[in-house]
Amino acid sequence: MIKILKKADLRDKSILRRCSEPDPAVTASVSEIIKNVRAHGDAAVREYSIKFDGSCPDTLELPREALAEAVNKVPSELLDVIREASRRIERYHRAQLRQSYEVETDGTILMMKVRPLDTVGAYVPGGTAPYPSTVLMNVVPAKIAGVKEIIMVSPPTCRGEISPVILATAYIAGVDRVFQVGGAQAIAALAYGTESIPKVDKIVGPGNAYVAEAKRQVFGPVGIDLVAGPSEILVISDGTSNPAVVAADMLSQAEHDKLSTAVLITTSEKLAKDTAAEIEKQLSVLPREAIARVSIENNGLILITDSIEDAIDLANEVAPEHLELCVDNPFDYVSLIKNAGSVFLGKYCPEALGDYFSGTNHTLPTGGTANYGSPLSVDDFIKKTSFTYYTAAALNTVKDSIALFARQEELEGHARSVLSRGNSD
C-alpha cells in the first residue's frame, strides 16, 4: 500500500527525491568493459555481447536495406502513428534552432558561429521491449540541428535481431547507420571507436544502470546528453481530480522500473485516500504489476498539504522529471514552477502525451537534476565557436586596461602579450 503523510509529518524530504549513487560493482564492471573494448575493439564487443545478450550477429552493422525492409514488417496503422509523432516532434524542436550572430563596434568584430556536431551516437534500448519513441526523441532533434552522421546502436532481442519497429522508426527518422550491439560495450565502442564502429562526438539515449554508468565514465573524450536515472512523476491536485485518473498517471511511471518514483501532493485528504485505493485496484490488473507494486510500495508517496502553493514549493525542492499540475486553472500557477523536467498542465494532459505524441522531448533530467538540467533539445546537437577581431587602434585603446587586469592576477605573460603590440603593429 502506498504511504500517505501530511506535510507536518514529513521529517525527511529526501523521501521525495530519489538520488541513487552508482553501484560500486556496476562501476567496476563497466570500467573493465571499457578498458577491454579500447584495447581489443570488435573482439571485446562480440565477447560481451555473447556474455550479456546471449548472442552476437556475424556482422555488427546492419545493411541500410534492412531498415527499409523493416518498414514492410510493421503494421501500417502503427507506421502512421510513428510518422505523425515524428512530425509533431519536428515541429516543436524546429523552433529551437539557433542562429549565428555578429556584434560590431568601432574596430572590433565579435562573432558566434553555430554549427552541428559531425557525428552522434544514439543508444536505443531493445533487449526486453522495443522503444520506437526513444528513436524519435533522440534522432529528430539531431536531424534538425544538421548532424552529419547519426549512428544508432541497439541490442538484439533474444531472437538475435533488432525489433522491426525500431528499425522502421530509425528509417523514418533518418538514422544513417545501425549497429546490433547494446550495453556498456556499445557505449565504449561509440566513445573510442573499433574496427567496425566509428567514434562519435556525442552519445545520447537512455539505458540500464550499466549503460548510464558507461556514459558517465566515457564523458570527456566524448560528450553525453545526461546520465538518466529511474523515472519519476509528481502529481499536484487541488482535490477536484478524478482519483482513478491520478492513480493511472502515477502507475504509468511506476511500471517503468522498481526504482521509479510516483508521488501525489494534494490539498484533499479524501483524494489522497481515494487515490490510494484506486492504485491498489488498478495494480491488480496491470500487466507489469510485479514491477509497479515494488515501485509504489518502496518509493511511492501521497502527501497532504494546506495549499497548492505549498505543493509547488515542495515540487520545486524535488525537481521532478515529470510534473503534472492537475487543477482547473493551471496557468495561474505556471510562474511558480521553477524546477521540473517537463510540466503537464490541466486535467486532460497525462504525462504519456510527452512520452509519445505532444512533440516535447521525453529525454529528461532525473534524480533532482532538473534544478539545473534541461530536456534533450536541438542545443544538444550543436556547438558554438566564438570569433574575435580587433584593429590596431581598437587594441590600443584597451591594452593598458588588459595589462592591469592581468597583473592583478599575477599573469605577467598575459600583460606583455598585449603590450608587445605597438600602435602600428
CA 35 to chain centre: 26
pLDDT tens digits, 195-206 = 999 999 999 999
What pLDDT shows up at residue 145? 98
The mean per-residue pLDDT over the stretch 357-367 comes to: 95
The answer to whether residue 17 scores a pLDDT higher than 80 is: no
Which residues on adjacent β-strands are paired with residue 343? Answer: 323
Name every residue whose Cβ is closer than 8 Å to that of residue 204 and which is 6 or more positions away in sequence. Answer: 120, 121, 122, 123, 138, 142, 224, 225, 363, 376, 380
Its sign, for the CA torsion 6, 8, 12, 17, is positive
Q: Which segments within 18-100 are labelled E, that is strand?
A: 61-62
Residue 183's CB: how many other CB atoms inside 10 A?
A: 25
Share of the chain above pLDDT 70, in %: 96
DSSP state of 36: H
User: Is 161 among the catalytic positions?
Assistant: no
What pLDDT shows up at residue 53? 84
SS3 314: helix
The answer to whether residue 115 scores a pLDDT higher than 70 is: yes
255, 278, 321, 324: which is the annotated catalytic residue? 321
What pLDDT shows up at residue 380? 97
Its sign, for the CA torsion 312, 313, 316, 321, is negative
Which residues on adjacent β-strands are paired with residue 265? Answer: 236, 303
Its sign, for the CA torsion 204, 226, 140, 115, is negative
**Which of 255, 196, 162 is CA-nearest to residue 42?**
196
Q: Half-sphere exposure (CA, 13 Å, Cβ side) for 318?
A: 31
CB 232 within 8 A of CB 320: yes
Q: Which three cell numbers stand for residue 385?
A: 565557436
Which residues on adjacent β-strands are paired with residue 235? Answer: 264, 324
User: Is 322 among the catalytic positions?
Assistant: yes
CA 145 to chain centre: 17
Q: How far is CA 143 from CA 16, 93, 166, 296, in A?
A: 37, 10, 17, 38
What pLDDT shows up at residue 124? 96
**Which of 181, 182, 175 is CA-nearest to residue 138?**
175
14 pLDDT band (50/70/90 cuts)?
low
Average pLDDT score, the chain? 94
How many Å is the Cα radius of gyration of the chain? 25
322, 324, 351, 362: which is the annotated catalytic residue? 322
What pLDDT shows up at residue 21? 75
19 pLDDT band (50/70/90 cuts)?
low
Q: What is the CA angle 311-312-317, rounded to 5?
A: 100
What pLDDT shows up at residue 199? 98
The answer to whether residue 334 scores a pLDDT higher than 90 is: yes
* pTM to 2 decimal places: 0.92
CB 262 within 8 A of CB 251: yes
Q: How far is CA 127 from CA 114, 156, 229, 406, in A?
A: 37, 6, 18, 56
